[in-house]
Structure 1
Amino acid sequence: MTNILTITMNPALDVSTAVDEVRHTSKLRCEPMHRRAGGGGVNVARELHRLGADVLAFYTAGHSTGRMMWSLLQQEGVACHPHAISGSPRESFTILERSTGHEYRFVLPGPEITTQEWESALQEIGKLCQPQSLVVASGSLPPGVPLDFFARVAQVVQAAHGSLVVDTSGEPLRAAMEQGVFMLKPSLHELRDVTGKPLTRLYEVRDAAQDLVAKGRAQIVVVSMGEMGALLACKQGCWYAPPLHVTVHSAVGAGDSFVAGMVWALAEHESPVQAFAKGVACATATLQSLGSGLGDTAQVLELLQRVQCLADFADEPLPV
C-alpha cells in the first residue's frame, strides 16, 4: 500500500541555468542547463523519495514534455502515475545571475484541461486513495480546472478515510479551507491574501493561523515566512522556528521540500512539532541546492540538529 500520494494538476518541466549578467537585447551565453520534473506535488514526491518514503506521484501529462517528465522521474526512481491529457505540460525557466546572486524565474502557463480530463483525474485520484494515507495536493491549477478542485479532492480523500495536505494559493486555497483539510501550508503572502489582513507582526500571523485551526479549516496550519522563519499552529499549541542561516543558492522547491519534510514525519506518526522541525530542515537543505535541485537526507539530518521550535517567542515586525 502506498502511504503517500501527491497530486500535481499543473506539473512543469523545470529548466535551470546561469549567466554572468542578465542584460536586455544582448545574447546571453548560458552555463550548462539542468532539466528536472517539477510542479508542486512532483517536487514533494521527489523529495519524499529522497528521504526514503513510500510515495506515488499523480500528475497530468501529454505529448513530448510529458514523456520527458516521466523519463526524468524514472531516472530518480520516483513511482509515478501520469494522467493523460491532450495538452502538453508547461515549462519553467530559472536563470541565476552570477554577478548579483539574483534568481530570475519564468513560468509559462499550463495547458487547457477539458472538463472530461479533470473529471476523470478526480475519479482516478479516488481510486488511488487508501485509508489512512496522506494525500498532498500542491501547486497551481491549469486553465479549465475549476477553482474548487482541491476542495473536491478533499471530499474524495475524506470519503476514502485519508488525510489531505494542501499547498496552493488564491481561490483554490480559499475553497479548500472552506471544505476543511488535514493540513494547510500557506506562505505569508498567501495567508494575507486569503484572510484579507495585512499581518504585519508575528503575533498577528500566530492569531490568524490559530483561528483557522479553531474554525476547523485545518488541523495543522504551517506558515512559511521566508527570511523570517516559519510558524506552526495546531490543537496542541503554536510554535515559531527562526530561520537557519545558510548560503542560499536557489529558492526553487523550498516550499515543496517543507511540505515533504512534514509529511515524511507525519507518515511515521511523529508529532506536529517534530514534523515542523523536519519541514524547516528540508526547506533549508533545498535553499542550499542549485536550480530546482533538492536537499538530500544527510543535509536534512545535519540541519535538523540546528532547528529551534519555540513555544515562547517574541512578537516581531514582518516585511510588507
Structure 2
Amino acid sequence: MKSVLTITLNPAIDKTVIVDRFVVGGLNRIEPIPQLDPGGKGVNVAKVLKNFDVPVIATGFVAGKQGEHLLSSLEKRGIATSFIKVDGETRTNLKIVDKANKQTTEVNEAGFQVSVCDLDSLFNHLSRLYDHTSHVVLGGSIPLGAPKDIYQQLIEHAKNHQVKIILDADGEAFRLGVKAGPFAIKPNLYELEQFVDQKLPTYEDIEKAARNLICDYNIQLVVVSLGKEGALFITNESSVFADALSIKAKSSVGAGDSMVAMIIYSLVKNLALEELAIWSVTAGSVTASKSGTEVCSLEEVAASLDKINVKHL
C-alpha cells in the first residue's frame, strides 16, 4: 500500500503556554510546564493521519538541535520521517492560550534559510519518495531563501510522478501554487477572495469562483473553509455545504490541518463528496473543541458524524 507524504518546508517546534488572562503590554505568568510539540502544517497533518491509521511519511527540511528534537518527537509518535537536514536552526512558534477569554495568540519565527543546493536535494529526494506515494500534502510557510514559486515547482514536479497534491497555503505561495493545477486546494474564504480579487458574499458566489478555478487550472476538488460556519466542497460535478459542529471552541490550532488530514483519509477510502464533507468538517470541529495543540481521533470524529447537516448547492 502506498503512503501519504506530507511536505513541510519550514517546520517548527510549537511551544504552547497557558495564562489565566493575557495582558497586552503587561506581565503575564504562565502555568508551570509549557507544552512542546512538533509543528508546521504538513507535520500537523501527519500527526492526525497517524491517529487515523493512514500510512504517512513526513518530509521537508529541518535544522539544528530544534530539528533533532522535532524528528525525535515524531518518531516517538510512530510517524515515519524522511527530512533533509540544512544549516541553521528550526524555528519555535509560540502559542499563548488565554484561559479567561478562550483565545490563542500565535507568535511565529521566520526560521532557517535554505540554499539552491538544499532545494536541488529536496527535488531529488522527493523523486525517490514519490515511487511509494499516493497523495501529497503541501502547505505552510516557505523558508527564507526559497523562491516564491516553490510550491508551483513542487506541484509540477509531483504531477510528473503521477501523485495527487493537496495544497493548503496562503499568499503568493498559494496564488502561484494554484496555477500549477494541484489535485485539491483548501483556501479559507479570505484566501479565495484574495485570489479572485473580489468579495464573495454568497455560497453561490463562492461556488462560481471555485468552479472557475476547477475549469481554468484542472483542479479536481476545492474546499473553502468558512470557519465556525462550516465549509463548501466543490468538484466539477457536484457542490455541497457542510455546517460545523456546535461546539465550545477552545483552540483553532490544528483545526484546518485536521480537515486536510480527513480530506486525505476520505480520498484514500474513496468516499463520496457528501461523506468527505461530513467527515472533514467534523474533524476540524472536534479538534477546535480541544485545548492547545491536541487533535481529533478517528473514534471521536465517527461519534459526531450524525450532528453535521449537509445540503447540495
> SS state of the match for residue 118, structure 1?
helix
Aligned to 1:3: 3
**Structure 1 residue 25: deviation in Å?**
5.0
How many residues align? The count is 312
2:38 aligned with 1:37: yes
Letter in 1 for 2:195: V
Q: Tell me if the contact between 2:158 and 2:164 (Cα under 8 Å) persists in the aligned partners.
A: yes
1:66 correspondence with 2:64 = no
* Percent of residue pairs identical: 27
Could you list the per-position Cα deviations for residues 43-64 of structure 1 after superposition, in whole angstroms to 9, with x for gaps in the alignment? Answer: 0010000010001000211111
Counterpart mapping for 1:58-137 below 5 A:
58-130=59-131, 133-137=134-138
1:17 aligned partner, one-letter code: V
Indicate the residue corresponding to 1:263 in structure 2: 264
Q: Over the residues paired in the alignment, what is the CA RMSD in angstroms?
A: 1.5
Matches within 5 A, 1:309-320: 309-312=310-313
Give the TM-score of the pair, scaled to structure 1. 0.93
Give secondary structure in 1 for the equivalent of 2:82: strand
Distance, in Å, in 2 between the alignment partners of 1:73 and 1:204 is 41
Structure 1 stretches lacking a partner, 5+ long = 313-320
TM-score (ref. length: structure 2): 0.95
Name the counterpart of 2:252.
Answer: 251
Q: Which amino acid aligns with 2:263?
A: M
Deviates more, 1:27-36 or 1:220-229: 27-36
Residue 117 of structure 1, CA deviation = 0.8
- Name the residue aligned to 2:201: 200
Residues 174 and 26 of structure 1, relative CA distance in 2, 3 Å threshold: closer
Q: Indicate the SS of the match to 1:289.
A: coil
The amino acid that maps onto 2:28 is L
In structure 1, the residue matched to 2:190 is 189
> Structure 1, residues 233-268: CA drift from partner, whole Å, max 9, x if none?
102211111121011110001111100001011012
Listed as ranges, the gaps of 5+ residues in structure 2 are none
Q: Which residue of 2 aligns with 1:317?
A: none
**Structure 2 counterpart of 1:218:** 219
CA distance in structure 1 between the partners assigned to 2:177 and 2:96 by the alignment: 33
- 1:282 is matched with 283
Letter in 1 for 2:77: E
Counterpart position of 2:303: 302
Specify the code of the residue in structure 1 equivalent to 2:53. Answer: G
Deviation at 1:216, TM superposition (A): 3.0
Q: Is the 8 A contact 2:48 2:261 kept in 1?
A: yes
Structure 1 stretches of 4+ with a deviation exceeding 4 A read none
- 1:316 aligned residue: none
Q: Is the 8 Å Cα contact of residues 192 and 198 (structure 1) preserved in structure 2?
A: yes
Q: Verify the 8 A CA contact 2:258 2:287 in the aligned structure 1.
A: yes
